[in-house]
Amino acid sequence: MSIQSTCDDILVLAENGICTITFNRVAKKNSITGAMYLAMASVLQQAATSGDVRVVLFQGDATVFTAGNDLGDFLNGPKPDENAPPFQFLQALAACPKPIVAAVCGPAVGIGTTMLLHCDLVYAGDNAMFSLPFVNLGFCPEGASSLLLPQLMGHQRASEALLLGDPFMAEAALEVGLVNRVVPPTECNAIAQAQAAKLAAKPMGSLLASKKLLKSGQMAAVQARIAEEGKLFADLLQQPAAKEAMSAFLEKRKPDFSKC
């Protein structure tokens, strides 16, 4: 079964049991459009049912993983809801029964960080910077991060990340367990590929059963939280604060929330 991407900004290579999904929009810091989300959701669904795919791997460039949502796309696109492309992608990611590996270098903003909560192995370049600026943009957390991040980091650290939106670097991500290892950026993708190859060489039935057991205790809660966050996120996106934040970002000025 050939795995296909429906978008040129998402590259897909399926070989040796590994389906590699690469963000391919470096000129725009790999910011993610609706078309890219739908392409990744489709690839994940194809990979989930393909007998030729044992592992999924996400990677970006040595300088940037992803700057998160393309805000211009958000501003100019149709009114979103909980079934909008980003949430279709997140649900497909959370539901994927096969191991997911990620190689993260440079900025991993917003969904670039929350998607990692659904990956099984994460390798970070020492230049990786994780950021969850949802409140700063007039949004709320997504990707079940409001559920999973406190479990991983503790309430206070999760609050600092989600309420203040303060970025944190690779070593801090390693300390709290968001990543498995910190490596040189030029080696990150290759190391992640090598780890994916180790997984692909293992018995498929054992891999699937083990991941299912690791995830089963929280899968229903995760899917419900993604939907709950998605509804709130879509509502907030229509509010003055979000419009002001996105306009300010695009106009390269400080947002004014005094009337929001």
**Cβ 35 vs Cβ 76: under 8 Å:** no
- The terminus-to-terminus CA distance of the chain in angstroms comes to 51
Name the strands in the sheet holding 181-183, side by side, starting at the edge strand that comes first in the sequence.
Answer: 10-15, 18-23, 55-59, 100-104, 121-125, 181-183
SS3 category, 177: coil
Structure confidence by residue, pLDDT tens digits, 17-73: 999 999 999 999 999 999 999 999 999 999 999 999 999 999 999 999 999 999 888
**Strand bridging mode 121-125 / 168-169:** unpaired
Task: List domains and CATH numbers for the chain.
Answer: 10-184+204-251 (3.90.226.10)
Q: Is the pLDDT of residue 1 over 70?
A: no
Structure confidence by residue, pLDDT tens digits, 99-128: 999 999 999 999 999 999 999 999 999 999
Counted residue by residue, the chain has a size of 260
CA-to-CA distance for 104 and 12, rounded, in angstroms? Answer: 17
